[in-house]
Amino acid sequence: MTKIAPSILASDFANLESEIKEVEQAGADYIHVDVMDGKFVPNISIGIPVVKAIRPVTDLPLDVHLMISDPENYVEAFAEAGASIITVHQEATSHLHRTIQLIKNSGTKAGVVINPATPVEMLKPILHEVELVLVMSVNPGFGGQKFIPEVMEKVEKLYTWRKEMNNYSYEIEVDGGVNKETSGLCKQAGADVLVAGSAIFNDRDREKAVSEIRDS
Ligand code: DX5
Ligand code: ZN
């Protein structure tokens, strides 16, 4: 079954605890946490203290998406705060392999993410080391943007490579513009986890929103 990871970027931050509990109740599999630094992406969101604050309010894994430059400097702090999976952008770190090792040594699962304009082949040297590969289907920085269908080709490649290589065991995640209209394309291409922000938190009926994305 496809996993759903609601992005709290689109939630009501004044009521974060109840927002998270509602989507957990609605059947979410991960809580997706979007961290932005105003440098790697043109927006600033939330960081380490918020991860720490939400860790005790849910049993779900915290899927932390770092949209920050030089993420290696903050990996340990996010792990200590309670991140379950830490995902770094290939474009944001000079030594991807070292950064992935650092995440693993900090005791959390390691993920890597690529922007829409980055070829997925760039990830080949690291694919045997990661537990998650995130394919951005919008340019990172904002919620509520339009899905870029061309990136599905990258999801298909990741799916095929994983079938071919028995040392590849990553989950394939898609992030950006995922809703009940676009989720079918992601699943067809081979995605295991779908991130959705506005499609879930802008709908009062979170259970319906989660199952529509999962089942359509
Ligand atoms: C984009 C973020 C996404 C975003 C998804 O920079 O990484 O996780 O919050 O939001 P929607 O689902 O609204 O595109
Ligand atoms: Zn994200």
* Model confidence pLDDT, tens digit, residues 168-194: 999 999 999 999 999 999 999 999 999
- Domain limits for position 176: 3-215
Reduced DSSP (H G I as helix, E B as strand, rest coil) percent helix, strand, coil of the chain, to 5: 45, 20, 35
The CATH number of residue 100's host domain is: 3.20.20.70
Closest by Cα among 130, 135, 132, 133 to 118: 135
Residue 216 pLDDT exceeds 90: no
pLDDT in tens, 38-74: 999 999 999 999 999 999 999 999 999 999 999 999 9
Count of domains for the chain: 1
Rounded to two decimals, the pTM is 0.98
SS3 202: coil
Catalytic site residue 34?
A: yes
Segment 6-13 shows an average pLDDT of 98
d(CA 11, CA 54): 13
Residues having CB within 6 Å of any atom of ligand 1: 7, 9-10, 32, 34, 65, 138, 140-145, 175-178, 195-199
pLDDT at 27: 98
Residue 153 DSSP SS3: helix
> Which protein residue has the closest C-alpha to ligand 1 atom 1?
140
Q: In this predicted model, what pLDDT tens digit does every residue of 109-148 receive, in sequence order? A: 999 999 999 999 999 999 999 999 999 999 999 999 999 9
**C-beta of residue 216 within 8 angstroms of C-beta of residue 4:** no
Kindly report the number of other CB atoms within 10 A of residue 72's CB atom: 19
